[in-house]
Chain A
Amino acid sequence: MKASAFNYARATSVVNALELLVAHGDKAKVLSGGQSLMPAMNLRLISPELIVDIGEIAELRGIAVRGGALIIGALTRHVDLLKSPEVAAHAPLLTEAIAHVAHPAIRNRGTIGGSLAHADPASELPACMIALNATIIVRSQTGERRIAAGDFFTGVYETALSAQELLIAVELPVARKSSVHFFHEFARRHGDYAIAGLAAQAIVLGDVFTDLRMVLFAVGDRPVLARSAEKLIDVVVTPALLSDASAALGEELDPPEDQQASASMRRHLAKVLLARCVSTLLGRPDLDVGGSV
């Protein structure tokens, strides 16, 4: 289908974009890369009266490292993240995850800010932001708010962002030398929406996790930071302990059912991902119990 009619404004600056958002409230929708907004409009899931195109605002673009933090502008495209040496050095989880975000033609337009503000529960970047302890920076006419990624995603396509605010950038703590990461997702076709996925960042000392942030996606209405993974910190992981954590994860999740997968299939895949993640990060093939969890 085609999008229904709307008015279009090309914002010339963040200040100008905020003026437009204040004037039009929730009748306006921000267009960055458009790779989620355009499908939603073409399918007539949403019909905004005004599109505020922020695509030309140069100040929202770019990747910088400042004072122990990696700062990524909202308009930075997926392809820019994928090719960035700064991201590869300081947030390698993100580099690995981006390869799973849709297809090359979509990664050439889609932006990190757009993906986060859209908050699709099956998308990779929101989960990575929580795993990496990111801060999401939003601006309104009254000033700037810094929101922890864990508080930003509030439901299916819902975030802490108000209709008068613009997502400006994300700030990630630079990965520590001893940190390791894991990313995997199950999808019908490479680049499709995940049926279940996991993004994790951890610190391993010897053969023990001293920190483990494991975030599952496509298994709830928002990315889920697994509390059950805490059982695996500061202890030697045995098959029995992993099995306990796996059972706890199953209880922690309340996955949706749709035409791609049942709730029990998603729960099963989440447990498989947990085992693979722990086994990979600790270098312990004996813990990868694969499909038999």
Chain B
Amino acid sequence: MTANMQISLEVNGERVDAHVPPRLNLADFLREHLQLTGTHVGCEHGVCGACTVRVNREIVRSCLVLAVQMHGGSVETIEGLSDSGEIADLQAAFRDRNALQCGFCTPGMLVAAQDLLKQDAEPDRERIREHLSGNYCRCTGYQAIIDAIETTARQRRERKP
């Protein structure tokens, strides 16, 4: 028998207390316990990037983190990033450029792209590719995704003289 454990963390700015089994990973905790289903579960071993979220301001694979490890931590999901408006321009650029088709990879792509744009205001295409190298898309062929990120970076620079 494995005992459930008490955890307390912050998810999208709200305090969450829960009782979870140790084997539960963060992705499943977000999806099944908190109904935050924007975080997608693809490969479950860290290859595809669909489950990318922010933990303590940094991107991580939520399938490779246990919910119990998040005790005392702060998690931000695609729902949090969308609702706050933080990535509204990036989402619009994805839509305008057809940078998504089935949409399965899109939450992870957006979280990873925003992480890059916060670190580097003027990334070239090579840098964008490198930062997104851990995120698979099986529809678009990536060009449109990179276009959308490049466009967003340019628009943000123009807005901030």
- Interface residue ranges, A against B (CB under 8 Å): 1-8, 10, 31, 34-35, 38-39, 42-43, 51, 53, 55, 79, 102-106, 108-109, 189-191
Q: Let me know if B66 is at the binding interface, CB within 8 A.
A: yes
Which of B5, B25, B60, B68 is A105 in contact with, Cβ under 8 Å? B60
Smallest CB gap from A190: residue in B? B133
Given A51-B22, A104-B112 in contact, is the A39-B64 Cβ separation under 8 Å?
yes
The total of interchain contacts (Cβ-Cβ below 8 angstroms) comes to: 92
Q: In the complex, A109→B55 CA distance in Å?
A: 10
The answer to whether A55 and B69 touch across the interface, beta carbons within 8 angstroms, is yes
Of B8-16, B42-50, B85-93, B147-155, the one with at least 4 CB within 8 A of chain A: B42-50
Smallest CB gap from B131: residue in A? A104
Q: Distance (Å) between the CB of B116 and the closest chain A CB?
A: 8
A2-B28, A39-B64, A106-B64 given; name 10 further pairs at CB < 8 Å: A2-B25, A3-B25, A8-B5, A34-B64, A35-B64, A38-B25, A38-B46, A79-B58, A103-B134, A104-B131
Chain A contacts for B22, CB-based, 8 A: 5-8, 51
Smallest CB gap from B62: residue in A? A105
Chain B contacts for A108, CB-based, 8 A: 55, 58-60
The answer to whether B46 and A39 touch across the interface, beta carbons within 8 angstroms, is yes
The answer to whether A42 and B134 touch across the interface, beta carbons within 8 angstroms, is no
Which of B52, B65, B130 is A34 in contact with, Cβ under 8 Å? B65
The answer to whether B134 and A34 touch across the interface, beta carbons within 8 angstroms, is no
- Which parts of B51-96 form the interface with A (CB within 8 Å)? 52, 55, 58-61, 63-66, 68-69, 71
Q: In the complex, A125→B134 CA distance in Å?
A: 19
Given A2-B25, A6-B22, A104-B134 in contact, is the A109-B52 Cβ separation under 8 Å?
no
- Interface residue ranges, B against A (CB under 8 Å): 2-3, 5, 21-23, 25, 28, 44-46, 49, 52, 55, 58-61, 63-66, 68-69, 71, 112, 115, 129-131, 133-135
The list of the 10 closest CB pairs from A to B, nearest first, reads A103-B134, A8-B22, A39-B45, A38-B64, A190-B133, A108-B58, A105-B59, A5-B2, A3-B23, A191-B133
Chain B contacts for A43, CB-based, 8 A: 45
Which of B2, B28, B61, B130 is A106 in contact with, Cβ under 8 Å? B61
Q: In the complex, A281→B60 CA distance in Å?
A: 36
Chain A contacts for B115, CB-based, 8 A: 104
Chain B contacts for A53, CB-based, 8 A: 68-69
The answer to whether B49 and A103 touch across the interface, beta carbons within 8 angstroms, is yes
Chain B contacts for A106, CB-based, 8 A: 46, 61, 64, 134
Chain B contacts for A51, CB-based, 8 A: 22, 66
Q: In the complex, A4→B25 CA distance in Å?
A: 11
Chain B contacts for A10, CB-based, 8 A: 68, 71
The answer to whether A7 and B2 touch across the interface, beta carbons within 8 angstroms, is yes
Q: Distance (Å) between the CB of B68 and the closest chain A CB?
A: 6
A-B contact pairs, 18 of them (CB 8 A): A2-B44, A5-B21, A8-B5, A10-B71, A34-B65, A35-B64, A39-B46, A42-B44, A55-B69, A102-B46, A103-B133, A104-B59, A104-B131, A104-B134, A105-B60, A105-B134, A106-B61, A106-B64
Given A4-B23, A6-B23, A8-B22 in contact, is the A42-B133 Cβ separation under 8 Å?
no
Q: Distance (Å) between the CB of B114 and the closest chain A CB?
A: 12
Q: Distance (Å) between the CB of B106 and the closest chain A CB?
A: 16
Q: In the complex, A102→B135 CA distance in Å?
A: 11
The answer to whether B63 and A38 touch across the interface, beta carbons within 8 angstroms, is yes
Given A2-B25, A51-B22 in contact, is the A109-B68 Cβ separation under 8 Å?
no
Q: In the complex, A58→B121 CA distance in Å?
A: 33
Q: In the complex, A285→B46 CA distance in Å?
A: 39
Chain A contacts for B5, CB-based, 8 A: 8
Given A38-B63, A39-B46, A190-B133 in contact, is the A8-B25 Cβ separation under 8 Å?
no
Chain A contacts for B71, CB-based, 8 A: 10
Chain B contacts for A3, CB-based, 8 A: 23, 25
Q: In the complex, A35→B64 CA distance in Å?
A: 6
Chain A contacts for B60, CB-based, 8 A: 105, 108-109
The answer to whether B64 and A109 touch across the interface, beta carbons within 8 angstroms, is yes
Q: Distance (Å) between the CB of A144 and the closest chain B CB?
A: 27
